[in-house]
A and B are shown apart, each in its own frame.
Chain A
Amino acid sequence: MTAIGKAGVVTLLRTALILVIGSWIVFVAVRVIPGDGIALRSRYADAGRAAAIRSELGLDRPYLSQYIAMIGDFFSGDWGRSMVTGRPVAGEFFRRFGATFELICGGIVVGTFIGIGVVFIADGFRSRLARGIPRIVAEVGLVVPLFWLGLIGIYTGGHLLGIFPMGGRAQVGADTGAGFTGLLTLDSLLRGDIAAFIAALHYLVLPVAVLSLFPAAVVASILQARLEDDRTATLRIALVAKGVGPVRLRMVHLLRLCAPVLVAALGTQFGALLGGAVITETVFSWPGVGSYLIQGVLNRDLFLVQNSLLFLLLAIALVLALSDILTRWLGGPSDATV
């Protein structure tokens, strides 16, 4: 009990530390990034006007008071307006968030299945060659640029074969049917509209396939390493001797053994996955927060970038904490089996 309590405190402290350091990095980064979004707003530059705007936005105040204001505004939901479009940042961010969330969930779920599948299927064969396959998936998934992969996907799936759309979430000009959740698959199911559900899936296939490669690689490499370690080999021999069948051996015992490391790995790679989503969104014209953030950075749209990054930071820290807790919870029973 005390051990668990101590672990909880460690997780809490770590999350707090990530948030504090991360938010300072965001704060400094958006201010030192070369290229002044306020002065560049006009083609006809006007130094006096830029200074006036900066003072109106409080950007001439001491850094500490600006930082406190930034945190206060973030949590009170006052995310300011885009300096380029004039739209409130919070409204636009959360309108797009569903699209990104749907993409990332798809990527994680599909990627995990692929990673586990590849490793266990290869594990079923005794040949060295087959056992090399997970390694290849892992290497390729970590190395191949998503950007290139996305273009290849659209070229083959959309152009050559003509079976998948070339991007977007719905037909051009059609009502996307986004509802309460902002996830088209979930919204259409909640409405009981099967046709819309299938259409939403159709648009998800290519981008999710591209995005899933990275989590698949992470899962495959970790699972493979775990299977090859001595402890696992001993457990395996014991289980086979007990008469456990090959499918049950992998899908129940080995998976349970590996679950904590997998959850921990996916948790720590969540940030990288978000990065992958940014690129995937741009290639697939996916109207999510990733492409929103990219536009914001290119335009030096201060409050847009600042608050979007803070939200993503919060999301990453929470996922990390959650995976921490989940790992420990899963860790108990799996340690007991050994």
Chain B
Amino acid sequence: MCVALVFGWGCGGGESEVKESRLVFARGADARKLDPADVDDGESVNVLAQVCEGLVRFAPGSLKIEPWLAKSYQISPDGLEYTFELREGVTFHDGSGLTAESAAFAFLRQMDPAHPAHFREADFQYWRALFDDIEAVEVDAPMTLRFRLRQPNAALLASLATFPAWLISPGALDAYGEGLQQHPVGTGPYRFVSWQPGETIVLERNDSYWGPRAGFERIIFKVTPENQVRLLELLNGVIDGADGLQPADVLALENDPHFAVYRGGTMNFGYLAFNSDVPVLADSRVREAIALAIDRDAIVRIGLDGAGVAADYPLPPGFLGRPDGPGDLPYDPERARRLLEGVVFDHPIELSTFTAPRIYFPDPVRVASLIRDDLQRVGIPVEVVSRDFQSHLTAVRSGEHEMALLGWIGDNGDPDNFLTVLLGSAGAVPGSATNISFYRNPEFDALLAAARVATDVSEREALYREALKLWRKDLPLIPLVYGEQLVVWSADVGGFSAHPTGEIRLGTAFRHDSDR
């Protein structure tokens, strides 16, 4: 303690410290808003992850939930009451203390349409999707916050670790009004300083942070739209770290001692969906044959340049209910050919894809051509249709496709967040479909509904196992890959770890002394 104090003073005085204690991270796009309750893009979340914190959080590098701004929590046996005991001595960046009252602000504003911070233009989509079972948020004692639920929701604790549940100071509303969406006031290791839209976001160390002191004086998030330029900036030391680089370029950096490559953010998967309303795809032999004909390892190797893993379940590894070993999706073009005997294709099947890179498909057009070649080899004629991402999304959500490539990036690490969204019949409404296979199976829906309210983990696990068996039998979509997020840092930046959720946490990052 004493040594740390002396060391801390000693460091603060040096002239070189100013230059050394700045971290610059570049990405392809700017943050959209800096309001945890009203964003859904990685660029915004990665800034907020330094500024804001939640009651609980995902433990570093895992999907395990650990208490964070709450020092402990209790869930009632019926699963209807969640009680959080808050940590003492935590202050928001505006100096106000963390109490149950101030913690409740972040939730009440999303929940109550009459709340002054429930801005008319804001969307609060995650509240509707993940937190809708919350009936009331109550201040039980000055440091005790309680959530009351309409029905049990086994995913709620994990949802409370995600960014829409991160806390912001109620004082931000008084200070900035609607501008709080551009001025995050959290409790995190760094505080917000300034934002030049399209250029930079500047954060500085929060000297009154309740946890370990942050390693940098300032963090700057910079926008460099062009991937190749971002790579050059990294090679020339203009920036310390970057994401969104082309996997092929990152492979070249992996053997370079000046850089460290982190692979993380595997809480996603890219898939091929069959529109079950298309007659030829309603034939289970055709779906089975397509699954057998696709060489998923080749997709990872060629389509993703190795930045991922072949997927054999519609759930990423480590998720509840997902069997550990390899799934039952072999590559067997011979068997595919045999299955198709007698099936006549009077027109090529359309395969819709898109042009913008996503974490699960860095080059979706290349993935589509690989699949087309695989399928044509077993006698299935395929025509690839490629659109930009927004047009593609509109088309597939309306069910205008036959086969389509798409993916999903999970929010809270719970199986329900994948299976209900992508395969539940509630999501199969043309026009706003998230279930773009338009798979409607009452038995499957019933299993998921039971798993949602089950409070016993092994019971939930068994239900999801059953659901996965149904998925395999009906095969409404074929999982292809689990994409990897690639983050590259200059080798002298330490204390960084990759998270399955894909969020970048820099609270523990620092710069090694060796170069000085």
Which A residues fall within an 8 A CB radius of B? 34-37, 39-47, 50, 81, 84-87, 92, 95-96, 151, 154-155, 158-159, 162, 166-169, 172-173, 176, 282-285, 287, 291-292, 295, 298-300
Contact = CB atoms under 8 A, between A and B. Distances in A.
5 A-B pairs with least C-beta separation? A35-B390, A45-B432, A34-B391, A47-B432, A42-B125
Interface in B372-405: 387-391, 393-395, 397
B71 interface: no
A34 to B, nearest CB: 4
Interface in B21-68: 22, 24, 29-30, 32-33, 40
Contact of A151 (B126, B198, B224, B229): B229
B174 interface: no
B439 to A, nearest CB: 16
28 contacts: A34-B390, A34-B395, A35-B388, A39-B397, A40-B393, A40-B394, A43-B125, A44-B126, A44-B128, A44-B434, A47-B431, A87-B182, A92-B197, A155-B232, A166-B232, A166-B238, A167-B226, A167-B233, A168-B199, A173-B22, A173-B200, A173-B220, A176-B196, A285-B226, A287-B196, A292-B198, A295-B198, A298-B356
B327 interface: no
Given A87-B197, A285-B226, A287-B196, 8 more contacts: A39-B431, A86-B182, A96-B198, A162-B236, A167-B224, A168-B199, A169-B199, A173-B22
A47 B40 contact: no
Interface of B: 22, 24, 29-30, 32-33, 40, 119, 121-123, 125-126, 128-129, 178, 181-182, 196-200, 202, 218, 220, 222-226, 228-229, 232-233, 235-236, 238-239, 356, 387-391, 393-395, 397, 421, 429, 431-434
A86 B356 CA distance: 24
A206 B273 CA distance: 46
Contacts of B125: 41-44, 46
B199 A287 contact: yes
Given A166-B229, A167-B229, A283-B226, A44 B236 contact: no
B229 A154 contact: yes
B435 to A, nearest CB: 10
B198 A172 contact: no
Given A34-B394, A45-B397, A154 B232 contact: yes
Nearest to A287: B198
A85 B24 contact: no
Contact of B121 (A43, A81, A166, A295): A81
A282 B226 CA distance: 7
A91 B122 CA distance: 19
Contacts of A37: 390
Nearest to B197: A92
B432 A50 contact: yes
Nearest to A92: B197
A298 B123 CA distance: 19
Contacts of A35: 388, 390-391, 393-394
Contacts of B390: 34-35, 37, 40, 298-300
A319 to B, nearest CB: 25
Nearest to B431: A47
A43 B200 CA distance: 26
A151 B226 contact: yes
A37 B239 CA distance: 33
A104 B238 CA distance: 26
**Interface-centre pick from B30, B126, B128, B393 (highest chain A CB count, 10 A):** B393
Contacts of A159: 232, 235-236
Nearest to A170: B199
B425 to A, nearest CB: 15
Contacts of B431: 39, 45, 47
Contact of A84 (B32, B128, B394, B434): B32
A166 B233 contact: yes
A122 to B, nearest CB: 34
Contacts of B389: 298
Contacts of A81: 121
B236 A158 contact: yes
Contacts of B395: 34
Contacts of A151: 226, 228-229
Given A166-B233, A173-B218, A45 B433 contact: yes
Contacts of B123: 41-42
B388 A172 contact: no
Contact of A172 (B32, B222, B393): B222
Nearest to B41: A84
A44 B32 contact: no
A284 B197 CA distance: 16
A56 B24 CA distance: 41
B33 A86 contact: yes
A86 B121 contact: yes
Contact of B200 (A45, A95, A172): A172
Nearest to A168: B199
B194 to A, nearest CB: 10
A22 to B, nearest CB: 24
Given A85-B33, A282-B226, A173 B121 contact: no
Contacts of A285: 199, 223-226, 229
Contacts of B228: 151
Nearest to A56: B120
B248 to A, nearest CB: 16
A86 B232 contact: no
A283 B121 CA distance: 32
A166 B40 contact: no
Contacts of A43: 40, 125, 129, 434
Contacts of A168: 199
Contacts of A47: 429, 431-432
Contacts of A166: 229, 232-233, 236, 238
Contacts of A283: 225-226, 229
Contacts of B181: 86
B157 to A, nearest CB: 20
Contacts of A39: 394, 397, 431-432
B238 A291 contact: no
A34 B354 CA distance: 13
A44 B229 contact: no
A85 B197 contact: yes
B24 A173 contact: yes
Contacts of A287: 196-199, 223
Nearest to B408: A43
Nearest to A292: B198
Nearest to B421: A44
**Interface-centre pick from B121, B199, B393 (highest chain A CB count, 10 A):** B199
Nearest to A37: B390
Contacts of B239: 172
A295 B197 CA distance: 12
B292 to A, nearest CB: 32
Contact of A46 (B33, B226, B391, B432): B432
Contacts of B121: 81, 86
A50 B397 CA distance: 13
A107 to B, nearest CB: 19
